[in-house]
Amino acid sequence: MALPLPVTLALAQTTNTESAAAAVATFPKRPPASPMPASANHGTCYVPGRPGTPATYIPGTPAVGNSPGTPGTYFPGTPPTPPISYPCP
């Protein structure tokens, strides 16, 4: 289980382990999942697409003294790819 925020405990909360173990033992158990028949329609699954990348421009350097400077460089971005659907197993 992932928590959205960090959890901070007081020292008193971490030293009382016997009562914590008893509290965990009192949670009801989840019933086992029933197996699905092989002929069941499981729906549609997807292979996620990839996001595109933005275009990038790197400016050149100005001319200084006898040096002509360098031109800027443009790198085109890539378009995103759509997700691919397939029947779920």
Q: What is the CA radius of gyration of the chain?
A: 29
Report the alpha-carbon distance of residue 19 to residue 77 in Å, rounded. 58
Among 8-17, 44-53, 62-71, which stretch is predicted with the lowest mean pLDDT? 8-17
pLDDT grade, residue 4 (50/70/90)?
A: confident
At 50 the three-state DSSP class reads coil
pLDDT tens sequence across 45-60: 999 999 999 999 999 9
Choice between 61 and 9, residue whose per-residue pLDDT is larger: 61
Report the alpha-carbon distance of residue 48 to residue 38 in Å, rounded. 26
pLDDT tens sequence across 12-31: 656 656 665 655 556 556 66
The pTM of the full predicted model, rounded to 2 decimals, is 0.37
Query: How, if at all, do strands 84-87 and 44-47 pair?
Result: antiparallel
